[in-house]
Amino acid sequence: MRITTIAFILTTAFAATAADLKPVPVGGVCGGNGQDVSVCESNLECVSTTGSQGICKVKESDVGGECKQNFMNSAVCKAGLVCVDPALPADGIPRPGTPGTCVAPLGSRVPVGGVCGGSTNLICDSNLLCVAASGIDGAQGVCKLRESDVGGECKQNFMNSAVCKPGLVCVDPALPADGIPRPGTPGTCQVSTTKPSPVGGVCGGSAKAVCESNLDCITASGVDGAQGICALKQSDVGGQCKQVFPNSAICKQGLVCVEFMQPVNSPPLAGAPGTCQLPSGSMITAIAPTVPTVTAPINTRQVSSTSVAAAITTLTKISGSSYEKIMPLTIVAFLFSFF
C-alpha cells in the first residue's frame, strides 16, 4: 500500500512538471524566475513587459524579410508592409513551402538612408536619389542626398536639399545691390580658399573660417556667423549614425547606434547608415555594486648601509661547507629586513 502511494505521488509530480513545461502560445505569459520559467512555442519571441516576464509574440519581418513561412507561428510583416507571394519559377510550377517576402505598398516613399528600388516597391522622398551598389537603374539601393559639384546649388529652400561634394564648401549667396537678402536663394558649392577646420577647430568670426564637410559650427551665442567650434552633428532617436562619408553624425548622449539590418534573401546594401536608438532595457536603472578600494600598506623601513656591510662581513668570514649551509639562511634574513 505504501509503495502504491509513493508511486502515485511521483506520477502526479511528473505530470505537474510536464504541464508546467508546456510551451506558451501567442499572447501567453512567458519568462519568470526560478522554477516558474515559461517558454514560448516554437518560432515565437518572448517580448519583455514587466520585470522578468513577457508576452509570446510572432516575429515581425522588415522589408525583404520572410512571411507566410511553411511552419507553425510563421513570421508576419511589420506594420505598413505587405506580404507578397513568391514569384513562380521559370517552369511555372509553384514550389510548396516557399515563403513570401515583406515589401512596402506600391508608391511608398522612404527618407535618406532607407531601402529603395528592386523588389521592395519603395521610392525615395522628393529630391533624393536611389543609389544602387551595382550601379544598375532599378536595382535595390539606398536613398541619398544629391551631391553638387563646383558651381552647383546647396542650402536649397526645400526638403532634402543638395549638399556639396566632399572637399567643397557651400557659400551663401551674395547680397543683391539693394542690400536686401532674398529668402530662399540657394548657396553655391565652391572650392574653399582656406583649409576647412576639422572637429574642434575654430570657425566663423572675422576670419570667416568654415568647417569640414558635414560638420556644424557651434557658437556660444547661437548667432550665425559668430566665432565658434566645429562639431559633429548629433542625431536624436531615429536619426542617422555611422554614415558612409567623412565626419559622420553621432548619436546624442545616452543613445546607441544600431547598425543597419541587411535585408533577408537580398544582396547586401553598401553604405546604409545606422540608426540612433535608446539602449536595450534603458527603462531599468541598474545600480552598480560598490567595489571597496584596498590600499596596500607602504613599507617605510629603510635598510641602512651599516646592516648591509655587517651582513657582507659575516658571509665573508664563513668558509667551506659552513658557508654553503649558512649562506642561504643569511640571504633570506637579509631580504626580510626590507619588509
Assess if residue 98 is contained within a domain: no
First to last CA, the chain: 75
Contact 86, 98 (CB under 8 A): yes
Indicate the range of 28-42, 178-192, 270-284, 290-304 predicted with least confidence: 290-304
Assess if residue 23 is contained within a domain: yes
Mean pLDDT of 321-336: 45
How many other CB atoms are there within 10 angstroms of residue 68's CB atom?
A: 17
Q: Which of 209, 232, 255 is the last residue of a domain?
A: 232
Q: Which of 58, 74, 91 is the last residue of a domain?
A: 58
Mean pLDDT of 25-36: 83
Q: Which of 9, 25, 58 is the last residue of a domain?
A: 58
Assess if residue 140 is contained within a domain: no
Assess if residue 307 is contained within a domain: no
For residue 31, the enclosing domain spans 1-58
pLDDT value of residue 152: 92
Mean pLDDT of 89-93: 79
- Whether 135 shows a pLDDT value over 60: the answer reads yes
Assess if residue 203 is contained within a domain: yes
User: Residue 25, Cα to own-chain centre: how many angstroms?
Assistant: 32
DSSP string, 23-66: PB-TT-EEE-SGGG-B-BPTTEEEEEEETTEEEEEE-EE-TT-E
User: How open is the CA angle 116-237-256, to the nearest 5 degrees?
Assistant: 100
The model's confidence at residue 299, banded by pLDDT at 50, 70 and 90, is very low
Portion of the chain with pLDDT greater than 90, in percent: 16
- Whether 313 shows a pLDDT value over 50: the answer reads no
What's the alpha-carbon Rg for the chain, to the nearest Å? 36
CA–CA distance, 255 with 240 (Å, rounded to integer): 12
CA–CA distance, 35 with 238 (Å, rounded to integer): 39
CA–CA distance, 256 with 277 (Å, rounded to integer): 5
